[in-house]
């Protein structure tokens, strides 16, 4: 396949759409922030309700094409910004009634199959994996980081058991040739030897590289913190995750701020609220069997949400410290 040709998109299914709409209740109006606009599935559904406004963000500039189409019908109720989660505080909100902030941490079919992005081990050519507003690529990481750094990336971001052998073999191979997608897959296959016929040998390493290149851990952490700040009392913070590390971060953040350590010692207690969030249910919402049948990639989705209890801005959270080890690994990219 010519690397300049983008495959025709398959139908896009917004994951857990019915459940999310039920939780955020857009029928009551207000402004909602769609932090992962993508193909616009959540945004379009929210705008179907009267008296709603949506501020959508996405780091992938390709999403702006769909956003521009949506503006034609909802120009006075829809805004799109090409920014990252960590830049949520740059939205310069005035007195908007923010009733919900939604994150869907999955990737669309068009992103995965776009050979220019290099997210899939089925494509050929350069290792990219940049989803927008990046400073380095997977190719930079694979060809420049040392063995121990690569091992940690594969182990902690991909839960790859053969991380050490894969990293070692990458170092050997790159001393002879620059590594691209095809050669990386070959190295992984040789390093793992035994094939898992249910999961491709390269799945975990490619996931790890994507997380690393896009700094997904720190982006999610600071995105959650900023989202919690801009929500109004009674507003919903909801997140759809697709792998265990994401879910672990979201679960910890919402649970810890639903306990008695939410309020900052620097801010006055408002309405004597003891916690930032009210966690309605501890277990995540998962897709129905019917949804998984229609959209198989949704099978790993988990939706967690919480309701903000008071209109205060400052609060204490140790989520950054809790996941410090992952952030330190992400910082290897600073030297690329």
Between residues 145 and 273, which one has the greater pLDDT?
145
- Answer yes or no: is pLDDT of 37 > 90: yes
Structure tokens, 270: 């408002």
Residue 213 CA to residue 166 CA, distance in Å, equals: 18
Q: What is the mean pLDDT of residues 253-272?
A: 66
Q: What is the DSSP string of 207-260?
A: HHHHHHHTTHHHHHHHHHHHHHHHPPTT-EEEEEE-SHHHHHHHHHHHHHTTST
Residue 240, φ and ψ in degrees, nearest 5: -100, 120
Dist. CA 236–CA 323, nearest whole Å: 24
Count other C-beta atoms under 10 Å from residue 27's C-beta: 11
By DSSP bridging, strand 302-308 and strand 277-278 are: antiparallel
pTM: 0.92
- Residue 7 has a pLDDT of 41
Residues linked to residue 285 through DSSP beta bridges, in sequence order: 303
Q: Would you state the pLDDT for residue 316?
A: 87
Nearest-CA neighbor of 210 among 266, 157, 252?
157
- pLDDT of 119 above 70: no
pLDDT score, position 118: 63
Mean of pLDDT values over 156-177: 97
pLDDT of residue 274: 73
pLDDT at 63 over 90: yes
324: number of Cβ within 10 Å:
11
3-state secondary structure 8-21: CCCCCCCCCHHHHH
- What 3-state DSSP class applies to 52? strand
Please name the helix (run of DSSP H) or strand (run of DSSP E) that holds residue 46, with its range, or none.
Answer: helix 41-47
Tokens 């309605």, located at residue: 280
Point out the least confidently predicted range of 28-42, 108-122, 262-276, 295-309.
262-276
C-alpha to C-alpha distance for 82 and 64, rounded to whole angstroms? 7
- In this model, does residue 3 exceed pLDDT 70? no
Positive or negative, the CA dihedral 244, 109, 87, 75 is negative
Which has the higher per-residue pLDDT, 265 or 294?
294
Summarize the confidence of residues 22-28 as an average pLDDT.
97
Alpha helices in 118-202 (DSSP H): 138-144, 147-158, 163-174, 181-192
Domains and CATH numbers, the chain: 17-109+216-320 (3.40.50.150), 135-213 (1.10.150.170)
Decide if 111 contacts 131 (C-beta within 8 A): yes
* pLDDT at residue 4 in the model: 35
3-state SS assignment for residue 274: coil
| Confidence band of 122 (pLDDT split at 50, 70, 90) | confident
pLDDT at 193 over 90: no
Q: Of the candidates 284, 330, 303, which has an alpha carbon nearest to the alpha carbon of residue 105?
A: 303
pLDDT of 299 reads 95
Q: What would the pLDDT profile of 71-80 be if each residue is shown by its tens digit?
A: 999 999 999 9
Please give the pLDDT value at position 248: 98
- Whole-number pLDDT of residue 125: 72
pLDDT band at residue 11 under the 50/70/90 scheme: low
Helices 163-174/181-192 angle, 10° precision? 130
């Amino acid at each position: 396949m010519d690397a300049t040709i983008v495959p025709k998109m398959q139908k896009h299914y917004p994951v857990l759409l019915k459940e999310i709409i039920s939780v955020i209740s857009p029928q009551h109006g207000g402004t909602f922030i769609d932090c992962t606009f993508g193909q616009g599935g959540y945004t379009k559904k929210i705008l179907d309700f009267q008296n709603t406004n949506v501020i959508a963000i996405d780091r992938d500039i390709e999403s702006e094409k769909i956003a521009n189409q949506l503006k034609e019908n909802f120009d006075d109720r829809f805004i799109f910004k090409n920014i990252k989660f960590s830049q949520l505080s740059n939205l310069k909100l005035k007195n908007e009634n923010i009733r919900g902030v939604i994150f869907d941490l999955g990737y669309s079919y068009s992103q995965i199959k776009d050979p220019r992005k290099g997210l899939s081990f089925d494509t050929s050519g350069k290792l990219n994996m940049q989803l927008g507003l990046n400073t380095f690529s997977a190719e930079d990481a694979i060809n420049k980081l040392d063995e121990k750094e690569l091992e940690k990336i594969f182990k902690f971001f991909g839960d790859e058991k053969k991380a050490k052998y894969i990293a070692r073999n990458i170092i050997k191979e790159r001393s002879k040739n620059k590594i691209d997608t095809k050669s990386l897959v070959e190295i992984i296959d040789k390093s793992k030897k035994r094939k898992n016929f249910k999961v491709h040998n390269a799945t975990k390493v490619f996931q790890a590289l994507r997380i690393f290149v896009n700094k997904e851990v720190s982006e999610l952490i600071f995105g959650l913190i900023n989202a919690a700040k801009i929500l109004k009392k009674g507003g919903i913070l909801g997140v759809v995750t697709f792998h265990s590390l994401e879910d672990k971060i979201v679960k910890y953040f919402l649970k810890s701020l639903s306990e008695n350590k939410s309020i900052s010692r620097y801010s006055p207690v408002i309405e004597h609220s003891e916690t930032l969030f009210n966690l309605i249910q501890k277990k995540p919402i998962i897709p129905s069997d019917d949804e998984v049948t229609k959209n198989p990639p949704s099978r790993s989705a988990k939706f967690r949400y919480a309701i903000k209890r008071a209109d205060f801005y400052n609060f204490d959270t140790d989520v950054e410290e809790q996941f410090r080890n992952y952030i330190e690994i992400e910082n290897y990219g600073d030297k690329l």
